Every structure is written in structure tokens, then in C-alpha cells.
Chain A
Amino acid sequence: MKQLLIVTRKLYKMNFYRAILSALWLIFPLEFVGVSFHIIFETCFHRNGILEVIWDLHTNLPGFNSISYLLKSTNDLTFITISLLLAFFTAENLFELRAKLSHEHLAGITSLFIYFLLIVETAPNLDLPQITDVAGNLLIPILIGLFTGYGYSFLAKRSSLKLTVTYWATTHLIVIFSLLIILIGGISFTVYQTQLFPNYISQQVQNFLQTGNHPTFWKITFATLLSNFGHFFGIINDFTTTIGNHFSSETANLTYLAQHHNLWNIPYPITLHSLYDSYGALGGNGMLLALAGAILLRVKNQRARLVASLSITQTVFDQSEALMFGIPILFNPLFLIPFLVAPFVSMSIGYLAIITHLVPAAAYVIPYATPSILRAFLGTNGNFGALFVSLIGLILSSLIYYPFVSLIDQLPERNGDESHA
């Protein structure tokens, strides 16, 4: 614990980390709004979203499709904007911290430009959902921002020239941007030729995990661990869902259920749906609902409390991105351990409860965007034991987060303006 705190404190003093933190904090409001609208879209305007099915909105609401389309594109654009801003602010902040210059946006603009070109050109297709998919990987804008920031501050120190929008900057910028366009064009060309799209690695891991016919507990655990690890570093993925869809066990379960309507004897009780979705992802990856609760109970830090109380409603609907930005949890060494351990513990409890036949496995089809705490309950066709097991998983996860959360108060107090000093 002590070690962890020391490491985190050291990290908090480093320029690159401060640049990331203040970028995340600046973007938090936009992320919060984006996520709120995303929840409205998923619950009400996504086919089979939970409120959509309750009120049968697609037949009862005139203009359902148009609103749905509008919301979907707004959401996509918001999330693209967020990652663009992340690229901009990371570079800008780092440059300002290192070169002690402010109000010069060269680094930010260059980083934004590189990132935008890159995601659009390396998306498998030039359409909005595909680009959004690529933009979901938040590690890339941060890395690009950091590189650009370092590059410019290096230039600024070496050339002893004022990097301002002056004659120098104008002439050099023409060269820099031309070179960048060629460079990124080259990268994109290679990506297309080799088919090494940004999601290549995750696809390979998926293929590896998809061997065999039916997922085992350890395979699910491993997939969850990898997925959460990636999530922690900003690689927001739907990897576990994709893997889950691959296995035929869920289809086999549904076929059985359609005929017999008996949850206790389904052929494959252990699936990603019955373990991970029902017990391992309460509040999105890493059981963040537990974290939000723990913060509200324990932490005195005003900012953390504000963020947690704002985003706990979103976390109930599994949208924890605002929390990840605001606390932040992304790249925060304090939370890496519980972020990986809590889902594992909760899933193990679910696993034990299922194999000992205390609760049936959640195999029913549930509405889209069902709040996480209700997923096991609905998936078992209203088994209160399953609801109880999810609550136990949640409480245990809060206990796991608890000691780590209390360290927040011992971190140096900081605010958004600090980096501009």
C-alpha cells in the first residue's frame, strides 16, 4: 500500500502524467454529457433497449427511427471529438509544462491533425461507426499527444527559437505538415496492405481464446482480465462480447430453453453471459459501480466525490467512462489491482453459486442496456437468489476497492489550472 502510494505520488509529479491528467479533467464534462446521451440512446432508442421494449417505443413513438439515427450519429461524433480533444490537450499540456510556454497551440494542433488523419485513414471503412470504433481506443490519442508534445518541446529547447506563430513557424509548419501527411499516408498504406488494422492484436487474442467449443471458467477469467487490462489503459473494447458471441453454447442454451423452459438443466451453464455479464461487469468493466459506491462512502476529496456522485447514475447503466475520466481511473496505478481483482472475485462467487446449484445460470435473453444489477435477475427469469448473488459480488468488490480508494485523500491536491503554472 505504502509503496503504491509513493509510486503514485511520484507519477503525479511527472510532466507527462500531469499532462494526461489535466487533459482528462478538461474533457470530463464533455464525456459526462456524451455518456448521458449515450445512455438515453441505448435504453430508449436502441432496438430492444430496456425502456424501448417496456414502452414499445419503436411502434408508439412517431419518428423513432429518425431520432434514433440522429442520437446515434451525435453520440459517435461526440466520442470522436473526445478522442480528438484528448490528442490536442495531451500534446498542448505537455508542451506547456516542458517548454514553459503558454498560449501556443502548435503542439496541440499538430497532434490533433496527426490523430485525426490516422484514425480516419486507418479505419477499415470510411464511415462513421467504423471511425468511432477506432476512436474508442483512447491510448492512441494520448500516445500521439505525448510524442508530439515531446517533439515540440525538444525543438523548442534545441533551436532556442521562439516556437510561435511567426515567420519561422509558418515556413517550418509547411514542411512539418507536408511531411506528416506523407508519413501518415505511408502508415495507412502499409496498414491496408498488411491488413494490420489497429484492432489486429485484439483480434489475434480473440482467435486464440476462441479455440474449443465452449468457454470454461478460466478462459472467461482470462478474457475478462485481458479486456479489463486493456480498458485500464484506455483501450476500450468489446472483446469479451465478441468472444462470447463466437461460442455456440449460448445458442444451445436458448434452443434448450425454448423447448423446455427449465433454467436448471441447460446444457452449458457457464458462459460469458452467465458469468461475466451477470456478475463480473457491474457498472461496466472492472466493477466500477462498487468503486463509485466506495468513493461516496469513504473519500473526503471534494472533486472525487463530485465526480462519483455525478456519474454513479451512469455507472448503474454500465457507462463508467465519465468515472474513468474524472477520478481518473485510466492510467492510475492506485486502481489497477482492484480493477483486475474485483471482477474476478465477483465472477468466482457467481461461478460457485451456479455450479453448486444455488442459483440457475442466467441464460434468458435480456433487453439491451439492462442496468447491470438487474442482469442476473432478468437473465434467470426473475430468480431472487441471482439478484442476491450480484449484490454480494457488488459488496465484496466495494470491500476490495475500499482500501485503495482511501488513498485518494492522501494524494497531492491538484486542480485543472495547475498544469498551466
Chain B
Amino acid sequence: MLKWIRPLILFVLLGFMAVFGLQWTHQNMRNAIPSANSRVSPIILVPGSSATQERFDAMVNELNGKTKTSSSLLKVTVHTDNHLSYSGTFQPGKSHPYIVIAFQNNHDGYSNIKKQAKWFSHAMTILSAKYRFNHFSAIGHSNGGLVLTRYLEKYFNQQKMRINTLMTIASPYNFSETNIDKRTQMLTDLIKDNSKIPTNLVMYSVAGTENYNNDGTVPFASVEAGKYIFQKRAKNYTQITVTGEDTTHHDLPQNGEIVSLIQQYVLNISSTKQKPDINVQH
């Protein structure tokens, strides 16, 4: 009897090690980060509710004019049945190709943002494989910023993909709620899951103010609520307020100051001439 106990224990131990060791090996390899960045690093643009894939045309034109480049612009719409329709071009040779990811169903509301984040993730999987990139920067206007935030928290795989800079323009993290003490369900959820946000993320949240309270559509307090999600979590969280001409919610993407901000913080091409007159709050 005793003679058999030792080999038995040994075999059980070996089997145990085989099963769980394999699990570790598997996990370890899945977590291995590709050591090299892809050469292509696109800038993903996500429009807000009611906006189509043409939302950023004016902004990209202005950016190309300012930086004296002709970066390509690819416009992708994700349909409700998950298929993608393309227009425009993608030229990897250009420094920063732009990709707009818009949604056929572009309605407002938390339940729709959840759906859009899922569509967005689906589009990213396909686009990153098709155009071979593993890092990107993203700009979201209005609800587009919410979609990007939810994508980072729910679908983003840090082992396969890296995000360099995220800029949200007038994104209402607390919807139309002006009182910060009243957190909407979405804000509560986003704060709850903020541990998934990459710690190396550089984040800018831009707010426009037509008067002292809002940009005509989104309350300033709601944009400011983003700090509860990103502050102390992302590597950098900077909130920027833009005032003056063209600061209504819908004009913001092509607002000259914001275009300068994108050029400076997302494209990392600083213009020596024109410094935007901005008020930076940390």
C-alpha cells in the first residue's frame, strides 16, 4: 500500500502542474506585449450624437492646412448589423492618417452609447488588422468621447493595442446634469470601471463655454465631471476651457483654438507662430 502512495502523489502533482502550469504559460503569452510599435499610428475621430461621418471634414481640412500636410481621411460608418461602409482614403505613408468612425444609429442616450462602444470596438478590431496598426490617438466630440471612454473601460485590450493620447471635446460625462452631486447612471458606471483605463494614457478634456455655464448644449459641470473618471488614473489629465468665437457645441470641432490644441497635443506638432489664447485648468 505504502509503496504506491509516493508514485501516486508524484503523478497527481505532475498532473496538477501540467494543467495549471499550462494555464500560466498560456496567460503569460497572451499578456506578452508586442515589443515594437507599428509604424502607422492613426488618429481615430468619433463624432457625437446626430452627427455623421462627415462631422470632422472641416476640422481635418483646417488641421492639414495648419500643419501643411495632406494626411489622408478615411470615413467609416458602422451599421447596426456590424458591417462597415468606407469612404475616403487611408494612406499609411502620411504622418497621421485620420479615421472617422461614425455610427449608423447615432441617437443619444446611455443605452445607445453602450451599443456604440460595442460597434466601435468591432470596427477597431477590423481596422487595426486591415491597416496594421497597434497604437493610435483618439479624439471624441460630444458623445463620441463617451463612446471612447466606455470603449477603454470595457473593450480595450492593453496587450494588443496602445492608446497614446485621448482628447474629448465637450463630452458630457454627466449628460445634461448641471449639479455634480447628482451622478447619472452612466457617470457612476464609468467611475466604477475606471481601473481599466490605461495608466499611460495622456488625456485632455476640452470644454467650450458660450456663457458661464455651458456651450449652448452641454453644461460645463458635466464636462468637468470627467475628472472623477480620469484624474489619478490616467498618466495625465488636463482640462481645457475654450471661450470666444465659434464656441457653440456644434462649432467646437472646427474652432480655431481647438484645432490648435489638437495640433499641439495630439499631433505633437507645435506651431511657433500662433499661440491659442486659452485657459488651462489642471
- List residues of A whose CB falls within 8 A of some B CB: 50-51, 53-54, 254-255, 257-259, 261, 313, 316, 364-367, 370-371, 373-374, 377-379, 381-382
A258: which of B14, B24, B33 is its contact (CB, 8 Å)? B33
In this complex, what residue of B is CB-closest to A257?
B29
B14: which of A51, A316, A365 is its contact (CB, 8 Å)? A316
Q: Is the CB of A371 within 8 A of B17?
A: yes
Q: Is the CB of A258 within 8 A of B29?
A: yes
CA distance A379 to B16 in the complex (A): 16
Q: Is the CB of A381 within 8 A of B21?
A: no
Contact residues in B for A255 (Cβ distance below 8 Å): 34-36
Q: Is the CB of B21 within 8 A of A374?
A: yes
Q: Is the CB of B34 within 8 A of A258?
A: yes
Contact residues in B for A258 (Cβ distance below 8 Å): 29, 32-35
Contact residues in A for B28 (Cβ distance below 8 Å): 364-365
The reply to whether the CB of B273 lies closer than 8 angstroms to some CB of chain A is no
A381: which of B6, B16, B25 is its contact (CB, 8 Å)? B25
CA distance A156 to B69 in the complex (A): 95
CA distance A350 to B226 in the complex (A): 57
Contact residues in B for A313 (Cβ distance below 8 Å): 6, 10
Q: Is the CB of B24 within 8 A of A367?
A: yes
18 new A-B contacts, CB < 8 A, other than A258-B33, A371-B17, are: A54-B16, A258-B29, A258-B32, A261-B29, A313-B6, A313-B10, A316-B14, A364-B29, A365-B29, A366-B21, A366-B25, A367-B21, A367-B24, A374-B14, A378-B22, A381-B26, A382-B25, A382-B26
Contact residues in B for A257 (Cβ distance below 8 Å): 29, 32
CA distance A258 to B33 in the complex (A): 6
A378: which of B6, B25, B34, B35 is its contact (CB, 8 Å)? B25
Q: Is the CB of B32 within 8 A of A254?
A: yes
Task: Give the one of B10, B17, B22, B30 with max A CB within 10 A.
Answer: B17
Answer whether A381 and B22 are a contact pair too, CB < 8 Å, given A258-B34, A259-B34, A365-B28.
yes
CA distance A330 to B50 in the complex (A): 81
Contact residues in B for A364 (Cβ distance below 8 Å): 25, 28-29
Q: Is the CB of B17 within 8 A of A54?
A: yes
The reply to whether the CB of B58 lies closer than 8 angstroms to some CB of chain A is no
Which parts of B1-52 form the interface with A (CB within 8 Å)?
Answer: 6, 10, 14, 16-18, 20-22, 24-26, 28-30, 32-36
In this complex, what residue of A is CB-closest to B10?
A313
In this complex, what residue of B is CB-closest to A52?
B24
Number of interface residues of B (CB under 8 A): 20
Contact residues in A for B30 (Cβ distance below 8 Å): 261
Task: Give the one of A254, A255, A261, A367 with max B CB within 10 A.
Answer: A367
In this complex, what residue of A is CB-closest to B24?
A53
CA distance A210 to B26 in the complex (A): 30
Q: Is the CB of A371 within 8 A of B25?
A: no
Contact residues in B for A378 (Cβ distance below 8 Å): 18, 21-22, 25
B17: which of A261, A365, A370, A382 is its contact (CB, 8 Å)? A370
Contact residues in A for B36 (Cβ distance below 8 Å): 255
Residue pairs across A and B with Cβ atoms less than 8 A apart, 19 shown, are: A50-B17, A51-B17, A254-B32, A258-B32, A258-B35, A313-B6, A316-B14, A365-B29, A365-B32, A366-B21, A367-B25, A371-B17, A374-B14, A374-B17, A374-B21, A377-B18, A378-B18, A378-B25, A381-B26
Q: Is the CB of B25 within 8 A of A54?
A: no
Q: Is the CB of B18 within 8 A of A316?
A: no
Min CB distance A7 to B, Å, is 36
Contact residues in A for B20 (Cβ distance below 8 Å): 54
CA distance A259 to B16 in the complex (A): 29
Q: Is the CB of B24 within 8 A of A54?
A: yes
Answer whether A377 and B22 are a contact pair too, CB < 8 Å, given A258-B35, A371-B17.
yes
CA distance A54 to B36 in the complex (A): 30
Q: Is the CB of B29 within 8 A of A381?
A: yes
Contact residues in A for B14 (Cβ distance below 8 Å): 316, 371, 373-374
Min CB distance B23 to A, Å, is 8
Closest 6 pairs (CB-CB, A-B): A258-B32, A54-B20, A53-B24, A382-B22, A259-B34, A258-B34
Contact residues in A for B16 (Cβ distance below 8 Å): 54
CA distance A258 to B32 in the complex (A): 5
CA distance A303 to B227 in the complex (A): 73
Which parts of B214-270 form the interface with A (CB within 8 Å)?
Answer: none
Contact residues in B for A377 (Cβ distance below 8 Å): 18, 22
Min CB distance B32 to A, Å, is 4
CA distance A259 to B134 in the complex (A): 10
Min CB distance A51 to B, Å, is 8
Q: Is the CB of B34 within 8 A of A316?
A: no
**Interface code B89-102, partner A: CB below 8 Å = 1, 0 otherwise?**
00000000000000
In this complex, what residue of A is CB-closest to B159?
A258
CA distance A382 to B19 in the complex (A): 9
